[in-house]
Amino acid sequence: MPLIEVTQSRYVSATIRLDSETATLIDQYAAFVHGSADDVVDKALNYVFAKDREFQDYLKSPLAAKAVPSLRVRRAGAADAPEPIVSGERSRGGMDARRQPLEKASVVPEESRSVLRTG
């Protein structure tokens, strides 16, 4: 029996809007922990999802299955058009928007807000 278990994670590329100050803080925190901005966002969100007991209860309710996807997700190998996450495709943390390597991430200003693009 192996001493460690290695599991494959499925990553997707997603586009989100952030306040420019938040984007700067993400970059600064990534430098602080010697990680990528994608790792910071992924781990921070999964931490919040796991710690929020009301949200955990919500995930068990029928309402969670009926939530309308709003995250703009691009599948690898698909056309450039973003696709929403289909119900039932969530990872153990409740989301499927996962990280890509840092060199593929960039922050682009857009009307006093920033757009974080991965992929």
For residue 61, give the amino acid letter.
S
Measured CA distances, 46 to 1, 18, 42, 95, 103 (Å): 29, 17, 6, 8, 22
Q: What pLDDT sits at residue 4? A: 80
Q: What pLDDT sits at residue 76? A: 64
Q: How many residues does the chain have?
A: 119
**Nearest alpha-carbon partner for 45 in 65, 21, 22:** 22
Q: What pLDDT sits at residue 6? A: 73
- Block mean pLDDT (10 aa), the chain, length 119: 78 92 97 95 95 97 94 70 43 40 41 43
Decide: pTM greater than 0.85: no
Q: What is the CA radius of gyration of the chain?
A: 16
